[in-house]
């Protein structure tokens, strides 16, 4: 699904993605898109943040309430704070306007590939965490945690590298598949993941920051293991 109020941009995106082999549903305003989302959630949503009526942020929340379908947010707002706000509403990735159609296609392909990948490896049991890659589900202390596609990908990568120090640019490269993007993307997703897995997100014991160096995942919850 593509939701974009600019007719020319919407048409070009639709034609480009269709030429790449995707079935594309186009909407020019938030209200009609919201009605369509109420009937069926698509595999991926390309969503303009600045929409008349029902906003892109509200549509993103609607998708998140019903599905882990990836959301790629388009924004004409140039500041880091504006882009972070879109991610905090549940978007998995964003593109700032103007952007190239080729980059849009590559990001769509990467999001769908990661969502559809059914990793056949065994269930990961690490400390208080249990992660099932084949079913893309995760539990903390026996409690299942609902996550977006990107949050799950991030947790799975961290679990596979438990105890290792991972710089933010390495997470961007390995989890997002992009190099040189705004590292605040990682910061936002780490914060959102902490809100779901930490007893107290303000004092993380599983996913800890080592300032100026990166992140370290300690699935046993040993807060004193690293400084």
The pLDDT tens digits along the chain (227 residues) read 999 999 999 999 999 999 888 999 999 999 999 999 888 889 999 999 888 888 899 999 888 888 888 999 998 766 667 667 767 778 888 888 889 999 999 999 888 877 766 445 678 888 899 999 888 899 999 999 999 888 999 999 999 888 889 998 889 888 887 655 567 889 999 999 999 999 999 999 999 999 888 999 999 886 444 33
Residues 89 and 148 in one domain: no
Q: Is residue 17 part of a domain?
A: yes
Residues 130 and 180 in one domain: yes
If phi over 0 gives left and psi between -120 and 50 gives alpha, with beta otherwise, what is residue 186?
Answer: alpha
Tell which of 116, 132, 158 closes a domain: 116
Q: Is residue 222 part of a domain?
A: no
Number of structural domains (the chain) is 2
Half-sphere exposure of 166 (CA within 13 A, CB side): 26
pLDDT of 120: 53
pLDDT of 125: 86
pLDDT of 67: 81
Residues 107 and 209 in one domain: no
Residues 54 and 157 in one domain: no
- The distance from CA 204 to its chain's CA centroid, rounded to whole angstroms, is 21
Residues 12 and 32 in one domain: yes
Residues 109 and 185 in one domain: no
Full DSSP string of 113-145: HHHH----SPPEEETTEEEETTTTEEEETTEE-
pLDDT of 208: 94
pLDDT of 217: 94
* End-to-end Cα separation, the chain, in angstroms: 45
Q: Is residue 23 part of a domain?
A: yes
Distance separating alpha carbons of residues 180 and 37, to the nearest angstrom: 33
Q: Is residue 69 part of a domain?
A: yes
pLDDT of 110: 86
Tell which of 87, 116, 145 closes a domain: 116
Residues 76 and 164 in one domain: no
User: Do β-strands 71-75 and 143-144 pair in parallel, antiparallel, or remain unpaired?
Assistant: unpaired
Range of the domain at 138: 124-217
């Amino acid at each position: 699904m593509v939701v974009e109020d600019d007719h020319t941009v919407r048409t070009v995106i639709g034609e480009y993605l269709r030429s790449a082999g995707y079935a594309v549903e186009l909407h020019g305003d938030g209200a009609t898109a919201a009605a369509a989302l109420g009937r069926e959630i698509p595999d991926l949503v390309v969503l303009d943040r600045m929409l008349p009526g029902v906003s892109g942020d509200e549509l993103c929340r609607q998708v998140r309430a019903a599905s882990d379908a990836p959301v790629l947010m388009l924004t004409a707002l140039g500041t880091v704070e504006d882009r972070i706000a879109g991610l905090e509403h549940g978007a998995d990735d964003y593109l700032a306007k103007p952007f190239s159609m080729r980059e849009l296609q590559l990001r769509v392909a990467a999001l769908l590939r990661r969502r559809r990948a059914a990793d056949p490896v065994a269930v990961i049991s690490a400390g208080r965490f249990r992660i099932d890659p084949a079913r893309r589900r995760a539990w903390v202390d026996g409690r299942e945690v609902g996550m977006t596609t990107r949050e799950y990908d991030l947790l799975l990568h961290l679990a596979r590298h438990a105890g290792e120090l991972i710089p933010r640019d390495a997470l961007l490269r390995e989890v997002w598949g992009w190099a040189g993007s705004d590292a605040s993307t990682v910061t936002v997703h780490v914060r959102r993941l902490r809100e779901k897995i930490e007893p107290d997100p303000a004092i993380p014991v599983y996913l800890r920051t080592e300032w100026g160096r990166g992140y370290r995942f300690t699935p046993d919850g040993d807060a004193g293991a690293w400084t």
